[in-house]
A and B are shown apart, each in its own frame.
Chain A
Amino acid sequence: MSGGLTGLRSRSSVRLALLLAGVVVYAWIAAALRPFTLPEYVLVALPMIPVVALTARRARSEPPEGATIAGSDWHRAALLWLAVLLVLVTWELLALFSSPREDHPTLSYLADRVMSTHAGRTVVFLAWLALGAALAVRPSRRVRK
């Protein structure tokens, strides 16, 4: 019985390792392609299809577990993080509408510097895929309230 369970676990570990290796190879290939080309458009667009489809699923409804948090605490947290986001967006827009770009770098401009090498571009592509995967699995995960 426990042998069967161990075998099942090792099979899922192998599957997970193969999946991760496949994702790294995919990111490596996508990172090697040049922007504004059809192959790059296809490799960037392909992961979007399952992610958007999976995020549209109905979320799993679970009863609250652990300590509950008061509504005012949720509002305070939301306001604080929205304020940080608003300041970031404002600063980014100020840089975007100023010139020359060398003197007013935007986040994309800074990201371009990191992505000027194949390895850097692969790492950023993997981070982007990881974010998409987190969004895709979100409907099947439960949340503490």
Chain B
Amino acid sequence: MSARFITLAGFVLIFTAAICLAVVSARRPSWVTLPRLVARATESRACRLVLALVWAWVGWHLFARGSGAFE
């Protein structure tokens, strides 16, 4: 098994786990879904601002400073 395969498999596993968790929490009424959790967390102005800064950084990193465009 190559290092590339292991790295990609790790990402696939993590995203699969996240999807499973989202599905399970949506099916059980006593569980909190991710959108509800995010909505609750963003009641705080500080939390919203932190998320907005993370969002801005992601945009800057991907588009303004991204290296892979039109390769």
Whether B55 pairs with A131 at a CB distance below 8 angstroms is yes
Given the known A-B contacts A35-B69, A111-B62, A138-B48, are A48 and B56 also in contact in the complex, defined by CB atoms under 8 Å?
A: yes
Partner of B71, one of A81, A87, A116: A116
Whether B4 pairs with A105 at a CB distance below 8 angstroms is yes
Whole-angstrom CA separation of A39 from B59 in the bound complex? 15
Identify whether the interface residues of A are mostly helix, strand, loop, or mixed: helix
Q: Which residues of A contact B71 (CB under 8 A)?
A: 112, 116
Whole-angstrom CA separation of A49 from B45 in the bound complex? 16
Whether B64 pairs with A115 at a CB distance below 8 angstroms is no
Identify whether the interface residues of B are mostly helix, strand, loop, or mixed: helix
> Please, how many residues of chain A have a CB less than 8 angstroms from a CB on the other chain?
60
What bracket does the count of chain B residues touching chain A fall in?
A: 35 or more
Q: Which residues of B contact A48 (CB under 8 A)?
A: 56, 59
Whole-angstrom CA separation of A115 from B62 in the bound complex? 9
Partner of A80, one of B7, B21, B60: B21
Q: Which residues of A contact B63 (CB under 8 A)?
A: 30-31, 35, 40, 44, 121, 125, 128
Stretch at the interface among A1-9, A10-18, A52-60: A52-60
Whole-angstrom CA separation of A48 from B51 in the bound complex? 12
